[in-house]
Structure 1
């Protein structure tokens, strides 16, 4: 995982601000390097002066692939082409990558652009289409004087762009204080290309000079020339011709779901390098953003089957002091609660319960529960930093979600491996443990794919399977344009990388090709089994996988948004709405 800054200017080299450098180094603490170059474009008539472009590339690196730190930007000594890569290429053309992916991607791009300018764009499109994994990148093809930049079609990595007050184009993983007025998210519609080799009148404005062409993604398996081959196929919109059968733990789809999710997870947690100051049997390489809900607990349970038995897994659980909730609870309670305000948080309660079930089902593993308690005063003291990281997003809901992710990814709290341990208000643990893991697992994507939101049930009640399919299709189609960039900026601030097994391209493709009645329980008859009686329709297939793996209690957990589970929503009294802009 890396941080990227790039600038393109026709007047002078433009370096990142000190604030930008500091934010990028928080994302990538292992390496920090800058490379600049100048390219001159000759006038065609031989009379005008050459037009000079100044390109500045800065990269920071969090090293999680290979046996040593691979510093960026990568520069090809022969051609002077440059790559800034922030991603994890798990596969190229269906083949798993061994060792570091950055150098292999660079070589792939260099081969694609070659020495023939007539085919270089088509070849780079093919190269990008072959990559499976989250990414954001800036690549300068020096042979043909072309700049390419993009995010993957699901938008799993942050990349922002905009023109500053001097007309310089800037592209960056983060937004500093000076960039908030002009930065926007790089779209996920395709790859963006700027052709610098054509001579333009130097008197033109920068926006006219830097004419950006979009090479769009296409869901067509054999797209037309100049289109990227999108790895996610269209949604299966077929409707049942008769009553679908009940879903059970022995259904073919449920068994295949367990297998495919395991495959996705293996890519993301096997062969993680030892973190700094690693102690075998004590330090964790993998941590789970852990509310105790179905999705994250399922990832934790499957991780147990994949990782060595002696490797601890950290379960990161965050709870906040919410003054509004605390005041209401105090007013309504006749006798004081023996539990602290943190232990009464919904996500803390489900987290403790799921921890106990994991320990019962997988007793040989050290499951380290990290209880992160955030006082209101501490939340306020970090508020400006969180707002800076989530930019250009700027609503009350953005802030409440970002606060929970920010403190969770810091990974700093009271750690305990005993599932029976529950501190009371008198004996609450004040010792501080910081997770050594540089890899965080998130269950994001499961609700969109398996109909986990309340609105999915509303859609089914309104219009049956047809309306349900349309609602799921809408959710999946807008994954790339919603909040993953914001989440990446916030979660990466503490030098950790978040990985999303439910958003693996092959996994997503497999799920969207399946008929909707195999993914959730709407419109299905009851299975007749005592083990599954009364289980929720939302994400039924995932709930059945949890039961197959022994997680019977977790299989019945309700969906709860993070801002309500951790109690970051509406910390102050008032009439503000989640969609209100922050002042």
Structure 2
């Protein structure tokens, strides 16, 4: 994980002190600056700053990388797990720099900008893993920048008050009126900075208006049309069954393959992780899970158990908030049903323990302990008083910009405090005065279950689509979710989660895993329209004769069942803002889409 800052102006331009602090929070292991002067009709300066969170290799690889032969520059924030299908061992930054340098060298012969863009885009298409980057081809004065097609790393583009260009991991400035926007995940972007190229147009308000940006877009077509580059992701299988599909069971081939492929994705992300600062063998964790106790995250925790040494603890980060609106409603209901003398107000601790995600988290924690004995599963109860939420609110709003709605804030609050990893490791269910064991995880790697709902039909709207329009409606709804993954909120989440010098990894969003799931027919991924499981699996899944697994994400539920997570396989989907109770903390008629002040 790294922080990136790149500016283009008539003089060297540096980030504000506040932005510099936020960049260092993302990457505290190294901070370096490099400036390049472009001579021409209009003298211009490129300023590059990189901050580094070192997670691969045997030492810290400082950035920006500068090629001594050409003076080309790379600021890289990513994890290249594979290049052209081959696993990258050790640190990936130098591998990527050499890959980019070779690509632009091959394009030098004809001097065609579009040819250079295509060559570099072809190199980028060979990378498997999350990334954002800024690359300056100094020999040809071309600035390239992009994010991966799923948008797993933050990168923003914007203009300062003087119209100077900035490409940065976080908004450079606290004012929400500054013209910053997410760099598009639709392709690879290039600005030609040659003296003969078009100069910036003054008086414009956006980067696209101010600078002539060439973009080579991705296409999921097997044979992309002219001007497009083949996407790492294939088109989704839109097949509609012509007859009744067979039941999906724990022994179905797809379910077995799903477990194996998810295991492979996870292996890339959790093995060979270096010891973080403050690490104590046998006590500290290298890996922590953003843990609500739901299906997706608990499945990642369970598979991690099979891939990590038994003496390595795994931290489970479970966040719960004091929500004054919810507390007031519960207190009102208690007073209506009981006399004041027999109904004392609930303690602050019991308010946290009553949060839906805390309840499911405790339950899933116990099931992990039962199914995986010998492992230290450290459940970190992260309890956030309302006053603490208010103290950090402006900081969270600053990090999530340019996103600026009530729903953005409620989700970002939960992610921000969960990623901080500071809580208590001792169950507190009775009295707020009970002795607590305070603990802050030293893990620099966080695992997130994000992406499972989109791929396996985990949202309520998928059921609605099937009820209204059958398999055709279901397939269309899943296709809509998958197609807009890169345009959704992963950039916002990255800015918030990375603030605590930790990197979040998304095993469900591995390119090879996503491509495999996209090729599968819908009836192998979820249970809508399928007959009940065969008797053996039905007996295992039915809880006291009344509870059955939801059709949403049925394939993942059956994997959980195969791994001994019976209760987890029955858990229902719940949005983080409601599970942690960050939604609508104040009384009033605010909606999630309302813009913040």
User: Same-fold call, TM > 0.5?
Assistant: yes
Q: Which of 390, 396, 406 pairs up with 1:386?
A: 396
Q: State the SS of the aligned residue for 1:144.
A: coil
State how far apart, in whole Å, the 1-side matches of 2:136 and 2:315 are: 40
Structure 1 equivalent of residue 564 of structure 2:
550
Note the C-alpha offset of 1:247.
0.6
Two-structure CA RMSD over aligned residues (Å): 1.5
Distance in 2, matches of 1:386 and 1:433, equals: 22
* Structure 1 contact 176–388 (Cα < 8 Å) conserved: no
Aligned to 1:415: 425
Maintained 8 Å contact 1:164/1:179 = no
Given that 2:118 and 2:216 are in contact with CA atoms closer than 8 Å, whether structure 1 keeps it comes out as: no
Deviation at 1:235, TM superposition (A): 1.1
Whether the aligned pair in 1 keeps the contact of 2:201 and 2:211 (CA below 8 Å) is: no
Report the counterpart of residue 141 of structure 1 in structure 2: 137
Question: How far has the Cα of 1:209 moved from its partner?
Answer: 6.8
Alignment of structure 1 residues 476-495 onto 2, 5 Å: 476-495=482-501
The corresponding residue for 1:456 is 462
Equivalent position of 2:80 in the other structure: 89
User: 1:229 aligns to what?
Assistant: 230
Matched, 1:566 2:580: yes
- Verify: 1:7 aligned to 2:7, yes or no: yes
The unaligned stretches of length 5 or more in structure 1 are: 42-49
TM-score normalized by the length of structure 2? 0.93
Instruction: Provide the C-alpha distance between the structure 2 equivalents of 1:566 and 1:204, rounded to a whole number of angstroms.
Output: 47
Q: Any unmatched runs of 5+ in structure 2? A: 543-547
Please tell me whether the aligned partners of residues 268 and 499 of structure 1 are also in contact (alpha carbons under 8 angstroms): yes
More deviation, 430-439/365-374: 430-439
Query: How much does 1:178 deviate?
Result: 4.6
How far is the alpha carbon of 1:202 from its aligned partner?
6.0
Task: Tell whether the 8 Å contact from 1:125 to 1:226 is kept in structure 2 after alignment.
Answer: no
Task: Decide which of 95, 104, 109 is 2:95's aligned counterpart.
Answer: 104
In 2: Cα distance, 1:185 partner to 1:195 partner: 20
Q: CA deviation at 1:429?
A: 4.4
Deviations 1:494-546 (A, max 9, x none): 00000000000111111111000110000000013211342111100000000
Instruction: State the shift of 1:203 in Å.
Output: 8.6
CA deviation vs aligned residue, 1:352-396 (integer Å, no higher than 9, x gap): 000000000001100000000000000001000000000000110
- Calculate the TM-score normalised by the size of structure 1: 0.95
What is the aligned residue count? 570
Aligned equivalents of 1:378, 1:189: Cα separation in 2:
38
SS in 2 for 1:311: coil
| Deviation for aligned residue 1:198 | 4.7
For the structure 1 residues 133 and 297, does the alpha-carbon distance in structure 2 shift closer, same or farther, using more than 3 Å as the test?
A: same
1:504 corresponding residue in structure 2:
510
Residues 265-414 of structure 1 correspond to what in structure 2 (within 5 A)?
265-333=266-334, 334=338, 335-336=343-344, 340-414=350-424
Stretch deviating more after TM superposition (520-529 or 298-307): 520-529
Q: Which range is displaced more, 288-297 or 525-534? A: 525-534
Question: Residues 7 and 47 of structure 2 are in contact (CA less than 8 Å); yes or no, is this contact kept in structure 1?
Answer: yes
Alpha-carbon distance in 1 for matches of 2:129, 2:203: 33
Structure 1 Cα separation of the partners of residues 524 and 67 of structure 2: 49
Specify the alignment match of 1:38 in structure 2: 37
Separation in 2, partners of 1:548, 1:327: 42
3-state SS of 1:183 partner: strand
Q: Tell me the CA shift for residue 204 of structure 1.
A: 4.7
* Counterpart-to-counterpart distance in 1, 2:307 and 2:324: 41
Change (3 A) 1:429 1:480: farther
Matched, 1:530 2:539: yes
Q: CA deviation at 1:39?
A: 1.5
Q: Could you say which residue in structure 1 is the equivalent of 2:545?
A: none
Query: Are the equivalent residues in 2 in contact too, given 1:168–1:206 (CA < 8 A)?
Result: no
Q: Which residue of 2 aligns with 1:47?
A: none
Task: Tell me if the contact between 1:162 and 1:184 (Cα under 8 Å) persists in the aligned partners.
Answer: yes
Counterpart contact for 1:406–1:491, Cα < 8 Å: yes
